[in-house]
Structure formats: structure tokens, C-alpha cells
Structure 1
Amino acid sequence: MARYYVNKNAQSNGDHEVHKQGCSWMPADANREYLGDFANCHGAVQAAKKKGYTSADGCYHCCNPCHKS
């Protein structure tokens, strides 16, 4: 299990990226929301969408299987 966070600030394309704890691209503390502990990024992205981040997407670097191409 790993801890996952969503960036509160959208990227220029409107996506809110989901990051795994320890990612080099993790947003600053004030700009992220804790999603919970998950076995993989798929559960974390779904949790972000349930919290209202409907365009949640996995980080290319730490959640690549959940990153939209």
C-alpha cells in the first residue's frame, strides 16, 4: 500500500494529477489533498474523482499506468 495525493491545482489541460508519496513531482503541501492508502494508482484516481476532481489523471512519473496518453 502507498499513500496517494491529488494536486488541488489543475494543469493547463484541466487535469488534476494524482501522485504517490515520494514522487519528485509532488505538489507543495498547500497544493495537495490526501486521498488515502491504495494498492495501486487506479484506486487513488477513482478516489480523486469521487472527491470532485473529475478530470483526475495519474502522474506520468509515479502513476504511469493511470496516466492518460
Structure 2
Amino acid sequence: MGTYYVNKNSQSNGDHEVHESICSHLPASENRQYLGVFANCGDAVREAKKYYVTADGCYYCSSPCHKK
């Protein structure tokens, strides 16, 4: 189980990346939205898509869910 956040700021391609709390690329606290505790990044990305349709997993901490 991991604690996940989504970046409130989109990347240049429009994606809002989903990060696990232990990620070295976790956005600053004012730039992230808490998603919850999930068993995997797929569940976290599904939750993030409720807020940001373009949510995608972080390449570094959620690579199985990183599509681009």
C-alpha cells in the first residue's frame, strides 16, 4: 500500500502526474493534491482521473502507470 498524490500543475504535454509519497520527484505540498492510500498506481491514477482527465503515472515512482 502506498500514499499517492497528483500534481496540480500539468506538464508541458498537459498531463498531471501521479506520485507516491516516497517519490524523489514529489511536487511541493502546495502543488499536490492528496489522492489516498492505494494498493497500486493504477488505482491511484483512476482516482486522479476524477479530477484531471489527463492524469498519468510518474515515470520514476509509478512507471507501470506511465503511458507517455
TM-score range (shorter-chain normalised) is: over 0.9
| Structure 2 gap ranges (5+) | none
1:30 Cα offset (Å) = 0.1
Could you tell me which runs of 5 or more consecutive residues in structure 1 were left unpaired when the two chains were aligned: none
TM-score by length of 2: 0.97
CA distance in 2, matches of 1:65, 1:26: 17
1:49 is matched by which residue type in structure 2? K
**Correspondence for 2:43:** 43
The aligned residue for residue 62 of structure 1 is 61
Identity %: 66
Aligned length: 68
Letter of the 2:49 counterpart: K
TM-score using structure 1 length: 0.96
Specify the alignment match of 1:4 in structure 2.
4
Secondary structure of the equivalent of 2:49?
Answer: helix
Moved over 6 A (4+): none
